[in-house]
Amino acid sequence: MEPLTYDLPSIGSLGSTIPSLIAIVTAVAIFVLRRCSIAKTIYFFRKSSKAKSVDEIVEEETGTVSNLQDLKILKARHRVAATLSELIEKDGAGAWPPKANHDSWPNALRPYKDIYLELNPLLPSADPSLDDLVNEERRNKYRSLMRKLFAERVNIAQVETLLAAAEAGNWDVFPRDVYNGVYCAVAVCRHAYRWATIPVVRVAQREKVVDFPPELDAPWPYLQRNFGVAAESGNNTANVLHNFDESGERIYKINVGMSELVRNSEETFFRMFYDLEVLAFPIYLEMVRAVISFNENDKTTTIHHLEAINFRLRHLLRIFYDNLIESRVARSVWLSYVQGFQGWGVGKFINGQFVKYDGLSGNHVLFFQVLDAFLGMDRYLTDENMDRYIPARQRELCLAMKKYSFRNKLQAPENAKIEEELKKIVNHVKVFRAAHRTRVMPYLEQPAPERLVMTAGKSVLEGPSTKDTKEALKVLDEMLVNRLKLTV
């Protein structure tokens, strides 16, 4: 390889060449800084994580501003960076995972939080009945009290005025982090009203349509339009990510007053999904950098970013490996006390047609959708389900990652190292999906005599001719197997 040489300008021509010199120096500086930044990221992350738990790594990543500053610079260079930046600035209220303010609310909206917390101890039952009449009476009492409190404390006109102001872009009146907190409160109130007792019981599962209080129906279209989703149910963003305040405290719990085993299992399970997005954000940024580097034909830098993704991905997946275990999330309580609340399984008539909605699903988690898109894989959710449950800006990020995926552009021999790093990422995902199937099925197969076989994301799976739980869950197991086969 020939050495780089430069012809220095004469003194007389220096004035006309200063802009060119500045451009050269700037380009070299950016090149060096980018290389140093990559090396430092990998070195310090490896050094700091050697003897630390995933919880400690998550704590270190939370609140880091350097990545956000980098993204602001990158968004002018590529569409995929601009798409990620818009998601964070708008839906995330300037952060990711999204910021959610659960305290500094306008007075008109405070009852949503207060009523949920006030009725919280009445929702779970330590000894669920198997009698439909007993369960229906319990559910009717809860719903009647919630209706009464909403009617007494919520001024619907004032609520709609605030939401209309936000819809018109007046975020000074209704800051985005407050909006996220309110979205969560309304969503969990709707889920609490839908089931009206925990564990979920058969009589509730048999419902087809629920008549919600007007105080819960009025704000919902505004909130859903803002995030670009169409379902009557909540979603992973509203119910899980927005349920953590800026200090990392989870606000709206399900099993207040239950045993420590139940409460700890609930807390561990939902915190997994929040912590996942904490560790996901630096990976999103590495994906953006890899796309930009490859687009600029800087293959060495592309490889460095892919190496960083591989290293960070191993730590992210440990969140599941370390927490979805019996000692952290007890099988004996997960199905009845943790999973059920996030289900849905009811609908409404639209233009004379009945439309049923499902609840939350692991398929709705942003990280794995973005990762699949980055790898050029087809998504596993239908267009209809994407529109119902995945916020619009999250969908746009997935589409951008898929559009600019470079995995199918590596035919040339000089791309062998890039291809090798991408295969490592795919292998991590394959191992995870195989392990996930092995771990999750025993949780779903646990006995829950008070209810029909159900998953939160697929609703009731049990029919009149269903022989047993394994048969009812067969469709879900086949879906997991098929997803694993497609991870190539």
CA-CA distance, 228 to 65, in Å (whole number)? 27
- For residue 60, the model assigns a pLDDT of 60
For residue 79 the two structure tokens come to: 């569409």
- For residue 3, the model assigns a pLDDT of 35
Please determine, for residue 264, whether its predicted confidence score (pLDDT) is greater than 50. yes
- For residue 281, the model assigns a pLDDT of 96
175 band by pLDDT with thresholds 50, 70 and 90: very high
Please determine, for residue 293, whether its predicted confidence score (pLDDT) is greater than 80. yes
Please determine, for residue 257, whether its predicted confidence score (pLDDT) is greater than 50. yes
Please determine, for residue 306, whether its predicted confidence score (pLDDT) is greater than 80. yes
Q: What is the mean pLDDT of residues 179-199?
A: 98
- For residue 473, the model assigns a pLDDT of 76
15 band by pLDDT with thresholds 50, 70 and 90: very low
Q: Of 362 and 488, which is predicted with more confidence? A: 362
CA-CA distance, 268 to 475, in Å (whole number)? 27
- For residue 429, the model assigns a pLDDT of 96
CA-CA distance, 206 to 227, in Å (whole number)? 30
For residue 305 the two structure tokens come to: 């970013």
Please determine, for residue 17, whether its predicted confidence score (pLDDT) is greater than 60. no
User: Angle at which helices 366-374 and 260-295 pack, to 10 degrees?
Assistant: 30
Please determine, for residue 465, whether its predicted confidence score (pLDDT) is greater than 60. no
CA-CA distance, 44 to 425, in Å (whole number)? 21
Q: How far is CA 383 from CA 10, 67, 261, 380, 392, in A?
A: 63, 31, 39, 9, 12
- For residue 52, the model assigns a pLDDT of 61
270 within 8 A of 209, measured Cβ to Cβ: no
CA-CA distance, 236 to 270, in Å (whole number)? 10
In percent, the amount of the chain with pLDDT more than 90 equals 75
Q: Of 31 and 432, which is predicted with more confidence? A: 432
For residue 117, which amino acid is it? L
* Three-class DSSP labels, 133-157: HHHHHHHHHHHHHHHHHHHHHCCHH
Please determine, for residue 464, whether its predicted confidence score (pLDDT) is greater than 70. no
CA-CA distance, 190 to 343, in Å (whole number)? 11
- For residue 166, the model assigns a pLDDT of 97
pLDDT tens readout for residues 42-73? 444 444 445 566 566 565 665 456 788 889 88
Q: What DSSP letter does each residue of 239-301 carry, written as one string? A: IIGGGB-TTS-B-S-S-TTS-HHHHHHHHHHHHHHHHHHHHHHHHHHHHHHHHHHHHTT-HHH
- For residue 23, the model assigns a pLDDT of 43
Q: What is the mean pLDDT of residues 321-342?
A: 96
User: Angle at which helices 299-323 and 54-61 pack, to 10 degrees?
Assistant: 130
Q: What is the mean pLDDT of residues 95-107?
A: 97
DSSP 350: E
Q: What is the mean pLDDT of residues 159-188?
A: 97
Across 41-45, 322-326, 402-406, 456-460, least confident range: 41-45
- List CB contacts of 295: < 8 A, sequence separation 6 or more: 78, 404, 406
For residue 262 the two structure tokens come to: 């139940």
User: Angle at which helices 392-403 and 79-86 pack, to 10 degrees?
Assistant: 160
Please determine, for residue 19, whether its predicted confidence score (pLDDT) is greater than 60. no
Please determine, for residue 371, whether its predicted confidence score (pLDDT) is greater than 60. yes
Please determine, for residue 459, whether its predicted confidence score (pLDDT) is greater than 80. no
CA-CA distance, 229 to 13, in Å (whole number)? 61
Sign of CA dihedral 240, 244, 249, 253: negative
CA-CA distance, 377 to 374, in Å (whole number)? 8
- For residue 463, the model assigns a pLDDT of 61
Q: What is the H or E stretch that residue 439 is in?
A: helix 416-444
For residue 89 the two structure tokens come to: 């600035």
Phi and psi (nearest 5°) for 355? -120, 120
- For residue 65, the model assigns a pLDDT of 64
Task: Using alpha carbons, select from 240, 224, 300 the residue that is nearest to residue 273.
Answer: 240
Q: What DSSP letter does each residue of 35-56 carry, written as one string? A: HHHHHHHHHHHHHHHTT--HHH
For residue 479, which amino acid is it? M
The tally of CA atoms less than 13 A away on the side-chain side of residue 278 is 22
Tracing tokens 């996901």 back to the chain, one arrives at 280
For residue 456 the two structure tokens come to: 């939160």
For residue 77 the two structure tokens come to: 């260079």
Burial class (CB in 10 A: 0-12, 13-18, 19+), 20: exposed
- For residue 468, the model assigns a pLDDT of 62
Pairing relation of β-strands 347-350 and 459-460?
unpaired
Please determine, for residue 127, whether its predicted confidence score (pLDDT) is greater than 90. yes
- For residue 368, the model assigns a pLDDT of 97
215 band by pLDDT with thresholds 50, 70 and 90: very high
- List CB contacts of 377: < 8 A, sequence separation 6 or more: 486, 487
33 band by pLDDT with thresholds 50, 70 and 90: very low
CA-CA distance, 242 to 236, in Å (whole number)? 9
190 within 8 A of 211, measured Cβ to Cβ: no
466 band by pLDDT with thresholds 50, 70 and 90: low
Question: pTM surpassing 0.75?
Answer: yes
